[in-house]
Structure 1
Amino acid sequence: MPEQVLIRGAVAFDPEAHGFAFPNAFVNEVLTLPNGAKITTAGRCGGMAYVSLDYFLAGQPAPRWRADLWAPSRVPPDSHWLARLFTQRLRDSFFTGSAAKFVTWSMHSDDETWVFKGVRRWTKEEELPRVIRSIDAGRPVVLGLVVARDLASVGHNHQVIAYGYEQDRESGRTTVQVYDNNSPGRAVTLTSEQGQSDWTASNGHVWRGFFVQDYTPRRPRVLTRNAPDVKDRVSTGDTVKLSHVWTGLTLHSHDRPYTHRGTDGHQQVTCFGGSDDNDRWLLVGTGGTAAGTALRDGSVVRLRHLSTGRWLHSAAGVPSPLSGQQEVSAVDTPDATADWRIEVVDERPWTAGARVRLVHVATDAALHSHRATDPRLTAGQQEVTAYPGRDVNDWWTVLELS
């Protein structure tokens, strides 16, 4: 049998489906100096790689939030559960035995010495075979990419997921397919020619070499298994789950009244970090608007909580339990206090990927949430209020649409 010239292997990992739809554009504040200046580092690549692999191995979809939800920063803020998870998993990636190679390889030459193989041979003789064995066994791996040549530049190294490879024995070319969180939504390849030391990435970077990182999976948080297409139109008669843009939690209610001083005793409305049927709201038109009417900037709707049948409501002069802002609750019978005006960015139709405000028509206060909880007054969940001003905590987007 003739020797096989072209050898390929791949795992069913798709960067568009299993990666994140926003880039690794995080800025981490690690220290504030006495003069107020901030010392920052860029990126949470290891955290994004680990979390993406967590979702893939659990057979669950990664959240598909797009970069424009958080414009102009393009990434979820530190108040968002996903941003905090990236930070946690980034730290996990550093507290592994293999992470020491980011330092040791940065201090070694590409070529072998009397004592060490060097980065080139370490990569091609030790680490590349590990990648191939893992992919052939059906498991993607996290790669540590090395570009630094001294300790001061260690932060320029990078972390990605390898999920495929191709070896051309005739030409000596090797290609590794990776999900690079610096290039969302597209496949990236690392290629090395015969006799070549470096690995050239299709997104323009050149790396000295790579190694397989130690990785232990964690069960990911799954808020929906049925994310809509970002272009899907939202209409009256639709049932939605709404996600709070700035924290990633879901608009929620449950059959439990407010009991704080000054409340009207109606059903609590909160933001929930899990996922259940108490997150589902029916969009009902006002003034005789027929079901199936496409909604857009300026449309007025009512939101009916499907589990309890009560209506999203607010009223002037009733304080919320924690911040004392205007209370938002759910009531048995709707009237004008249950009317909410939709404000869509760019004054366009409401689509699943849009960033919207829901403004209480009677008081012009925006549906709002923030990281405030109390086990007694909000069941330990995040407070939801109506806010007379306007800020980023007023933004919502569609998590699920049916």
Structure 2
Amino acid sequence: MTEQVLTRRAVAFDPATHGFAFPNAFVNEVLTLPNGAKITTAGRCGGMAYAALDYFLAGQPVPRWRSDLWAPSRVPPDSHWLARLFTQRLRDSFFTGSAAKFVTWSMHSDDETWVFKGVTRWTKEEELPRVMKSIDAGRPVVLGLVVARDLGSIGDNHQVIAYGYEQDRATGRVTVQIHDNNTPGKPVTLTSERDQHDWTASNGHPWRGFFVQDYTPRRPRVLTTHAPDVKDQVSTGDTVKLSHVWTGLTLHSHDHPYVHPGTDGLQQVTAFLGADDNDRWLLVGSDGTPAGTDVRDGSVVRLRHVSTGRWLRSAAGVASPLSHQQEVSAADVADDSADWRVEVPDDRPWTAGARVRLVHVATKAALHSHHASDPRLTLGQQEVTGFPKRDVNDWWTVLELS
């Protein structure tokens, strides 16, 4: 029997579908050493890799938010639940037995010594077979990529997901397919020849070697399984779920009145870190605008809470329970207090991928949210208010569209 010379295997992981749609542009402090020195990483690569694999193995879609939502930073701020998730999963990736190799490999040479194999042989003789075995079994793995040659450069190492490989026994060439969160949405390869020490990445970076990281899945948070295409037009008559751009929470209401002093006693409106039918709002055109009319910058709409039938509204002179900004509530009657003007940057139509402001027509206060919550006054959910000024906490985007 003729031995197969070329072997190709891959798991059905697609970086454009299963990876996050923004680059790994985070900067953060990971650990403070006993001597006071700080270890920083140029991003949260391990957190993004672990989280993407969490979603993939659970069969759930990753949140499809794009980098322009958070312009100019391109990544969710630390106030966003997704940014906090990446931080937690990054820490998880470092508190594993395999993570010690980031230190030991960075201190060892590529070549073998009388005691150690060296980074090149460790990679090709021990770690590469582990990668192939896992992919043959249908399971992607997280790889620790090593480039550092001393502890001072350990932050230059990297973490990615390997989901395929090609091995040519005739030439000795091996190519590993990876999802690299520094290059979102595109496949990247690591290639090494038989006598080559390092691994050349198709996105331009040479790596000394790699190892398989220990990984334990974590159940991912899923706010929608029906994310719209970013180019989908928003129209009157649509039912939407709106996500607060700076925290990732969903505009929500429930059949509980405000009870704080000075309240209007109407139904609470909050931002919710979860997903249920209380997040759904029907867009209705003001002044008899028919259903199916495209919503653009400057359009005036009303939002009717689907579960209770009440209308998103606000009024001057009524303070919110926590920040004492202008209260936002939901009422049975739709009048001028329920009119909201849509503001889309660059005078564009409202599409699902855009960030927008909703400005209360009568008071010119922007629909706004922030971290404040209280179990007694907002059922522990994030307060939503009308804000007379303008800041990043006024931005919203479409999470779901139907």
TM-score, scaled relative to structure 2: 0.97
Q: Which amino acid aligns with 1:191?
A: T
- In structure 1, what is the equivalent of residue 315 of structure 2? 315
Are 2:306 and 1:327 aligned? no
- Would the aligned equivalents of 2:280 and 2:305 in 1 still touch at CA under 8 Å? yes
Query: Aligned equivalents of 1:349 and 1:145: distance in 2?
Result: 43
Q: Which amino acid aligns with 1:156?
A: D
Q: How does 1:19-58 map to 2 (within 5 A)?
A: 19-29=19-29, 41-58=41-58
- In structure 1, what is the equivalent of residue 249 of structure 2? 249
Are 2:15 and 1:15 aligned? yes
Q: Which amino acid aligns with 1:175?
A: T
Pairwise CA distance, 1:40 = 5.5
**Percent identity at matched positions?**
85
- In structure 1, what is the equivalent of residue 237 of structure 2? 237
Query: Aligned equivalents of 2:125 and 2:200: distance in 1?
Result: 18
- In structure 1, what is the equivalent of residue 199 of structure 2? 199
Query: Aligned equivalents of 2:215 and 2:29: distance in 1?
Result: 25
Q: How does 1:1-400 map to 2 (within 5 A)?
A: 1-29=1-29, 41-400=41-400
Pairwise CA distance, 1:250 = 0.2
Query: Aligned equivalents of 2:302 and 2:40: distance in 1?
Result: 44
TM-align CA RMSD = 1.2
Query: Aligned equivalents of 1:339 and 1:80: distance in 2?
Result: 28
Deviations 1:307-331 (A, max 9, x none): 0000000000000010000000000
Pairwise CA distance, 1:30 = 6.3
SS at match of 1:191: strand
Pairwise CA distance, 1:39 = 8.9
Q: Which amino acid aligns with 1:318?
A: V
Question: Residues 4 and 230 from structure 1, CA distance in 2 versus in 1: closer, same or farther, beyond 3 angstroms?
Answer: same
Query: Aligned equivalents of 1:22 and 1:56: distance in 2?
Result: 17
Pairwise CA distance, 1:174 = 0.3
Runs of at least 5 residues in structure 2 that lack an aligned partner in the other structure: 33-37
Pairwise CA distance, 1:169 = 1.1
Pairwise CA distance, 1:394 = 0.1
- In structure 2, what is the equivalent of residue 35 of structure 1? none
Query: Aligned equivalents of 2:187 and 2:312: distance in 1?
Result: 43
Q: Which amino acid aligns with 2:129?
A: P
Query: Aligned equivalents of 2:393 and 2:152: distance in 1?
Result: 38
SS at match of 2:99: helix
Query: Aligned equivalents of 1:202 and 1:399: distance in 2?
Result: 33
Pairwise CA distance, 1:170 = 1.4
| Number of residue equivalences | 397
Pairwise CA distance, 1:41 = 3.9
Query: Aligned equivalents of 1:350 and 1:293: distance in 2?
Result: 11
Query: Aligned equivalents of 1:39 and 1:183: distance in 2?
Result: 23
Query: Aligned equivalents of 1:84 and 1:39: distance in 2?
Result: 18
Deviations 1:42-83 (A, max 9, x none): 210000000000000000000000000000000000000000
